[in-house]
Structure 1
Amino acid sequence: MDISIAILIIGFAALFAAFLLLVIGLVYSEMMNSDIPCGVANRGKLHIVHGLFVGIAIVGRILERLGICQQVSFIRWFRAQFLTRINPVPPGLRVKDLGFSQVPVRVYESTVATDGLRRGLMYFHGGGWVTGNLDTADEVCRQIAKETETTVVSVGYRLAPEHRYPAQLDDCDAATCHFLSVAEAEFGVDPRRVAVGGDSTGANLAAALCQRLAKKQDGHLPSPCAQVLIYPALQMADFNLPSYQQNHAVPILFRGRVAFYFLQYLNGDMSICQDVLEGNHVPTELKPCYHEWLSPSNLPEACLARGYTKLPAAEYSGELYHKIKSGLEPEVSPLLAEDDVIRMSPPTFILTCEYDVLRDDGIIYRRRLMDLGVDVTWHHVADGFHGIINFINQGWLSFPSAPRVVDSVVDFVKTL
């Protein structure tokens, strides 16, 4: 072997080893900042999954700084290639990729014969409006469609940072209205029995869409018959609720990442992330109203059992508010809608997880809905963490709690 080639190989090996050590060190440092309480199901596996996700993010960050590719592009690619398992379509189910008003959708239809029209469900995946796609929601949609004989339409809405608000909500709106207009003729679905739902930021889109459709109801299309909200992100006015304090470092969703995702959705300005977390963006005149809606007194006593500290009032910044004021509008923060709007909400299913920063968003929204006369079904996963529903039938990434989460959704959908 030529000595120059040998030196080159040794040099590349040394660089790779240094790169690997750097990544391992950064992953270890990040994992030391996590806190997985004893009550979380399968804590050991969650530690491993968290380390893997952190490693992917760190490699993506390094590649972006080297000018090779954007971090978000690498994360999407890696998860699609190595962490998203597409199982064979089971008997009794038909799956088709289509386009509704130029929005990519995946339709799941039961092949079991039925005498009448079926029910339908529009499903919006989670992922912080930044990641996620039709494949990441595939197994969940299959399970719901197969177990309930419901026609499920999964929506592949556009993502940030390439597309900002309201692109994601507009896509969900367009796909839903298209389906409602053709449900009976093309899919044998009763348009009056079509619900909307999703997980995490997908649940945010579902809640926002229900409010939007209720306000613009013109009689041409029926409103959704229900909304299915799986650990929903519903407001960006208060990141210091008890669940944010108690679960701030519980994987898979840290407190700081919630603000990060909201900002990616709105404008991508990460320089204001800490100020938003502290609440400096909330106008003084709106604080009394928000406090009434978001007060920890609206939570069950059990939600305060792991501790809560009332923080000093944040210092309002008008400049900050004007940068993200759309984030306090109901289409981004459905929990902050006026009573007259929330009162028009359809029957609602809300699922929350104890070890999730978004736990209190869902529980407080439940309280607001119930106080305004809306029928609510609530399912709380005592040992659950954010994102758990996506770990169903994913091989070594599966968590035993995930099927229980899907089963609770299935039980509700069967009542529609």
Structure 2
Amino acid sequence: MAFIYILPVILLVIFTASFIRVVMGTIRSEYSNFSIPPGVNHSGKLRIVHASLVTTSALGKILEKIGVCSELAFTRYVQPGRQRGPEPQLSLEDAELGRVPVRVYRPRAQPAGPRAAAIFFHGGGWVHGSIGTYEDICRYIARESESVVVSVGYRLAPEHKYPAAYEDCLNATLHFMKNIEHYGVDPANAIVCGDSAGGNLAAAVCQTLAGRSDLPKLRAQILIYPGLQALDFNLPSYHQNRGVPLLFRERAAFFALQYLNGHALHMQEVLEGSHIPPDMRLKYRKWVSPDNISEKFKVRGYKPHKPHEFNAEVFEKVKGFFDPNLCPLLAEDAVIQQLPKSFILTCEYDVLRDDGLLYKKRLEDNGVPVTWYHLEDGFHGIISLFNLYVFSFTSGKRGLDRIVEFIRGL
């Protein structure tokens, strides 16, 4: 009989121990390579932001373990977006463009003529993010640039694998461009814009539309610390910033694989570079190589990486990485040459820094005008923290203001 009373205690102890192991495992994995260089903007704030993300991840793992919900569902739930009241200077409208949900931000003031428009694709590694999480950014761009902003709510991975997000962004953009005058927008002054994964989508959409003669030409593209390739996760910035929040090197590969395949079973092989056939490595070396990165970006230390032996089985699983619609840095010169004026923002303490630098070089080598703004103290995701009360970062505000300035100057 005594065992009947002791059993719940034993189960509780086992349950508690399991929770502790999950929490400690999450903390160890997240902090094992964690580092914040002294040059980062408001490093103390970044530590707190990172700690909150680790805590959220740990709670999500616990809920998943006990069968309440998946970790992914929980992390999406706790970051649904910031609740904001009416905007005196803007009108907001939720709609659909090509069956894709969007939110349209329009300045209320009567314009002197047709406005500019920015079609915005949010970041979040193709896995996180929404129209709601980018509410403040889109309001700010619309208000300060006096332009119409269309925020696109594309489908997320891993539930919706590539090319779902790309197709949603393309369809929404096509629908908008075909009906552009309905929104009071100058057909010659529409741009695509996005940060991180959204920058990837903006670059892919811009390339797709570059050769279209049946639509108004895009005026520009704005790429904010974009991820543009999945061939080399050993470029200088991936080593220098491998443990800098908000995006670790391993997470960059994890998100790319989630987008491509809906899982990350071959993450280690992709990180090591064994997914690239020798002939393709030779072909793309002219575009994706540390040799194309200025020496000033290697002063914090860089050790050349020797790729592991090619694995044909892994290549078959991830060969979608060689599709320019997924990795825009791999587009042929004939496509790059048709691209419009471009704005690229990079951050020094960002694993994706070199993706932006390599694309900047490709554009310039092909005669495309590029406005480049580099946040010397910035880190990946810094602009997405805009207006986060005491956890706002001044460097991110500077970057956002440069984007507004670029739009106003078109």
What TM bracket, shorter-length normalisation?
A: over 0.9
Matched, 1:190 2:189: no
Contact 1:195 1:226 in 2 (8 A): yes
Relative to structure 1, the CA distance from residue 252 to residue 414 in structure 2 (aligned partners, 3 Å threshold; closer, same or farther) is same
CA contact (8 A) 1:95 1:108 kept: yes
- 1:245 paired with 2:244, answer no
Letter in 1 for 2:285: H
Question: Quick one: distance in 1 between partners of 2:178 and 2:264?
Answer: 40
Q: 2:347 aligns with which of 342, 353, 367?
A: 353
Kindly provide the amino acid, as one letter, of the partner of residue 79 in structure 2.
R
* TM-score normalised by length of structure 1: 0.92
Q: Does residue 380 of structure 2 align to residue 386 of structure 1?
A: yes
CA–CA separation in structure 2 for the residues paired with 1:360 and 1:17:
44
1:9-408 alignment, distance < 5 Å:
21-22=20-21, 25-29=24-28, 30-80=30-80, 84-184=81-181, 186-215=182-211, 217=212, 219-408=213-402
Q: 1:15 to 1:369 in 2, by over 3 A?
A: same
Q: Which amino acid aligns with 1:405?
A: G
Letter in 1 for 2:238: Y
| Contact kept? 2:204, 2:324, Cα under 8 Å | yes
Structure 1 distance, partners of 2:342, 2:242, is 27
Task: Identify which range, 41-50 or 195-204, moves more after superposition.
Answer: 41-50
Mapped contact 1:31–1:51 kept (Cα < 8 A): no
| Contact 1:27–1:51 (Cα < 8 Å) also in 2 | no
Deviations 1:161-215 (A, max 9, x none): 111111111111111111111121x211012211001000000000011111124
Structure 1 distance, partners of 2:87, 2:8, is 48
Structure 1 residues 115, 50: CA separation in 2 closer, same or farther (over 3 Å shift)?
same
After superposition, the C-alpha distances for 1:138-182 in whole angstroms (9 at most, x for unaligned) are 111111100010000000000111111111111111111111111
Amino acid at match of 2:369: D
User: 2:329 is paired with a residue of what secondary structure?
Assistant: helix
* Secondary structure at the counterpart of residue 105 of structure 2: strand
Q: What SS class does the counterpart of residue 325 from structure 2 fall into? A: coil
SS at match of 1:79: coil
Distance 1:119 1:377 in 2: 18
Cα offsets for 1:331-377 (capped at 9, x unmatched): 11100111111111111000000000000000110001000000000
Q: Is the 8 A contact 2:241 2:248 kept in 1?
A: yes
Counterparts in 2 of 1:7 and 1:146: CA distance versus 1, 3 Å: farther
Relative to 1, partners in 2 of residues 1:33 and 1:310: Cα closer, same or farther, differing over 3 Å? closer
Which digits, 9 at most, give the CA deviation of each residue in 1:242-268, with x for residues without a partner? 000000010110000111111111112
Equivalent-residue separation in structure 2 for 1:13 and 1:403 (angstroms): 48
Contact 1:31 1:50 in 2 (8 A): no
AA paired with 2:104?
V
CA-atom RMSD, angstroms?
A: 2.1
**CA gap 1:192/1:52 in 2 versus in 1, 3 angstroms:** same
Aligned equivalents of 1:314, 1:18: Cα separation in 2: 39
How many residues matched?
405
Cα distance, 1:21 vs structure 2: 4.6
Question: Matched residue of 1:271: which SS?
Answer: coil
Deviations 1:51-71 (A, max 9, x none): 111221222223223322122
Q: 1:385 to 1:287 in 2, by over 3 A?
A: same
Q: Deviations over 1:100-139 (max 9, x none)?
A: 1111000010111112110101000000111100011111
Q: Which residue of 2 aligns with 1:3?
A: none
Unaligned runs of 5+ in 2: none
Distance 1:16 1:96, change over 3 A: farther
User: Which letter does structure 2 place at the counterpart of 1:66?
Assistant: I
TM-superposed deviation, 1:386: 0.3
**2:27 touches 2:54 (CA, 8 Å); kept in 1?**
no
Contact 1:118 1:151 in 2 (8 A): yes
- Bigger CA drift: 107-116 or 12-21? 12-21
C-alpha spacing 1:7/1:397, structure 2 compared with 1 (3 Å): farther
Which residue identity lines up with residue 128 of structure 1 in the other structure?
A: G
Deviation at 1:313, TM superposition (A): 3.3
Q: Is the CA contact (8 Å cut-off) linking 1:23 and 1:55 kept in structure 2?
A: no
Distance 2:228 2:83 in 1: 30
Unpaired stretches in structure 1, ≥5 consecutive residues: 1-5
**For 1:38 and 1:387, how far apart are their aligned partners in 2?**
18
Matched-pair contact (CA < 8 Å) for 1:85–1:394 = no
The CA deviation at 1:19 is 6.8
**Alignment-mate amino acid for residue 360 of structure 1:** D
Structure 1's 320 and 13: CA in aligned 2 closer, same or farther, altered over 3 A? closer
- The 8 Å contact of residues 272 and 307 in structure 2, kept in 1 or not, is answered as no
The aligned amino acid for 1:259 is: A
Secondary structure in 2 matching 1:269:
coil
SS at the partner of 1:292?
A: coil
